[in-house]
Amino acid sequence: MKRGIRYQGAVIRGDHILLIKHREHESGREYWVLPGGRRRTRETGEACVRREINEETRLTVSVGRLLLDEGIASGFYKRYRTYLCEVVSGEAEPGFEPEADATWYDIVEVRWFDLRRSYEWEDGLTDNPVTFPLLLRIRAVLGYTEVSAEATE
């Protein structure tokens, strides 16, 4: 059964976006996602994103404009709302999932990925059928274009 809306943050620092890596306990499968989750009763979307990012990455962020509001064909959620976020304070590190139904995985890593250089992204990200296309859409909305490896040498 799919859940409703996932509120998530595109945390941008410089030309990089922050992702968190989940590891499932039973299978050991790992995958990258944007920090985010479900909204609590009477919580705004922006407040949800701030709370989720703080829980999952230990960062305090300001939440800006809504970047994407889209239905998703695959994954756990019916809809993703992605907000542009900026770090206010803290250093990114793996946080936790306090929700009772989130006991089947842990957050094992956080990492900044360069939005200009998708060729540097690891296979675990580029073959992710949900997160990889989402990153490409975020990149397009924010106006990033690919910089070739030769251009950086």
pLDDT at position 85 over 70: yes
The average pLDDT across 22-31 equals 89
Q: Is 80 exposed, middle or buried (0-12, 13-18, 19+ CB in 10 A)?
A: buried
The ranges assigned to domains in the chain are 3-152
Assigned CATH class of 3-152: alpha beta
pLDDT tens digits along 115-141: 999 999 987 899 998 899 999 999 999
Q: Where are the beta strands (DSSP E) in 55-98?
A: 60-71, 77-89
Compute the average pLDDT of residues 98-121: 84
Q: Is pLDDT at 151 greater than 70 in this prediction?
A: no
- Which has the minimum average pLDDT: 71-75, 98-102, 106-110? 98-102
Alpha carbon of 72 to those of 87, 90, 100, 151: distances in Å?
A: 27, 31, 24, 35
d(CA 110, CA 37): 16
> Is residue 152 scored above 70 in pLDDT?
no
